Amino acid sequence: MLRAPHVPQLPRISPRLVAALLAGGALLFAGWLWLRDSSLVRVQRVTVTGVHGFGARAVRSALETAAQDMTTLNVDQGALRAAVASFPLVKGVQAHASPPHGLRIVVDERTPVGVIDSGSQQVAVADDGTLLREIPVSGLPLIIVRVPPGGTRVGDRPTQAKVDLLAAAPAVLRARVTRVTLGGHGLTAFLNSGPQIRFGDGRRLHAKWIAAQRVMADPGAQAATYIDVRVPERPAAGGLTLAQGGAPQSLTASSAAPGTVASAGSTTAADGTTTTMPATTAPPITATPTTTAPAAGTAPAVTTTTP
């Protein structure tokens, strides 16, 4: 006769044990809530980093005031963001607690890159297209428009393309830019005591700025009136005479970078500005040199052209 296998029975848990565990858990939770908001971990030292622009002192003060009502175990990120919501330069904040009393707040700040000028109104604009209506505009590159901007961000593509051009510029070069236009040569930046830089479309802007820097560092291109970086691997320094090292027109006309167009006279930009280039008469093309792309890791060759 087969016997059923023996199944061990689980020990019965005492109701008193259950009640004791629940009571202990409740006490621990209550103790945590008390400690989280107690003076034992109250914020006493606030360090604010990352804020340097207009209104920096007011931003620090607002964050420090908001943080004084917090503890290092209960940091309210939303309250910190609300404290600086009225400052357009502040893009975001992140808080890092150091118990028992330290709090470090890192501010992500927007960078003013230009001033949108409609003739009747000037508004600073940040690198991400945010309009900075309370920010001083002195010294910022001009972005000429026909209609004053509305809202809180740039709303049209031509203006945003100019903002993107300035945002991509190295700080040392952006400080020299006086204005940017969009016209016959595409995006163009005009430098103080320097050449104009022709970028063409809005693609590969970082690579084009790097190419422009390399050309400007070339002693042979110091007298250039413009630099064409529409093809960043083959930049061209223009406006040089033969005595300054410019190549004959018969050579440069055939070796220009693909997609470039030689022009003379006046061109009117889409933003209403006019750029005048000296008229030139090109002799017949007598030679067509062969060019090859530079090897990886080498500086692009600089083509010089006569005015």
**For residue range 9-41, what is the model confidence (pLDDT) as tens digits?**
667 778 887 788 888 888 787 877 787 888 899
pLDDT of residue 174: 96
Shared domain for 290 and 214, answered yes or no, is yes
The whole-angstrom separation of Cα 229 and Cα 211 is: 7
Is pLDDT above 70 for 149?
yes
Q: How confident is the model at residue 134 (pLDDT cuts 50, 70, 90)?
A: confident
20-34, 46-60, 180-194, 219-233: lowest mean pLDDT where? 20-34
Q: Do 135 and 67 share a structural domain? A: no
Decide if 272 is inside a domain.
yes
- Boundaries of domain holding 293: 169-304
Question: Residue 14: inside a domain, yes or no?
Answer: no
Residue 11 lies in a domain: no
Instruction: Look at the chain and report how many structural domains it folds into.
Output: 3
Query: Average pLDDT, stretch 161-166?
Result: 98
In-domain check, residue 48: yes
The verdict on 214 and 276 lying in the same domain is: yes
Mean pLDDT to the nearest integer, 188-201: 96
Q: Give the whole-angstrom CA distance, residue 267 versus residue 223.
A: 23
| Domain-embedded: residue 143 | yes
Say if residue 176 is in the same domain as residue 300.
yes
Res 35: pLDDT:
75
CATH number of the domain that 52 lies in? 3.10.20.310
* 213 and 145 in a common domain: no
Question: Which pTM does this prediction carry?
Answer: 0.70
For residues 92 and 122, membership in a common domain is answered with no
Report d(CA 290, CA 305) in Å as an integer: 16
The pLDDT score that the predictor gives to residue 19 is 82
pLDDT at 172 over 50: yes
82-91, 237-246, 264-273: which is most confident: 82-91
CA distance 181 to 257: 21
Token representation of residue 232:
């960043």
The answer for residues whose C-beta is within 8 angstroms of residue 299's C-beta and 6 or more apart is 214
- Asked whether 235 and 212 are in contact (CB, 8 A), the reply is yes
